Amino acid sequence: NEKQLEDLNTLNAGELKVAFSAGLTDSGAVGPFDQETTLIFSKTFTNVGGAYDRTSGVFTAPVGGIYFFSFTAADYLKGYMGLHLYRNEKPVVFSLDLNDHGGYTSASTAVSLQLDRGDSVRLSLPASYRLYDDSRNFSIFSGFLLFAV
């Protein structure tokens, strides 16, 4: 169809650019929640291509390809902190840290994923876990298209 041809022409011209980076919040503690909760990284630094939705916290692949995602999560109280990265409704990566000293701690993870057009990627905070962020941007979620396939 015409839309697919337009998309292919855009790809072939090397013009499709997709990249985002967002901070979690300026308001401090996030969680703990009674149930697993999708995190909304509301402080958008970059959102070229508009594939990251800062109101839902969900990245939607505009084209099939290999995408690279990374995130850093931080906290400062004793206890568990960590995040699930989901592709659609399936967990792909779980990053976990036990903060047993009560000072600032962080966990970072990165992954490359092959996504189909319309696939979604989001970060989720497990029940009873918590994170921290403020204007210094401790907790960040980023992703970009490496190449279309």
Torsion angle defined by CA atoms of residues 19, 23, 40 and 116, in that order, rounded to the nearest 10 degrees = 20
Domain harbouring 99, CATH code = 2.60.120.40
Residue 7 has pLDDT above 70, yes or no: no
Q: Which residues are bridge partners to 75 per DSSP?
A: 105
Quote the domain boundaries for residue 87. 2-148
How far is the C-alpha of 43 from the C-alpha of 20, rounded, in Å? 11
Q: Please give the tally of structural domains in the chain.
A: 1
How far is the C-alpha of 46 from the C-alpha of 138, rounded, in Å? 16
Give the mean model confidence (pLDDT) for residues 96-123.
89
Give the mean model confidence (pLDDT) for residues 66-93.
91
The model's pTM = 0.87
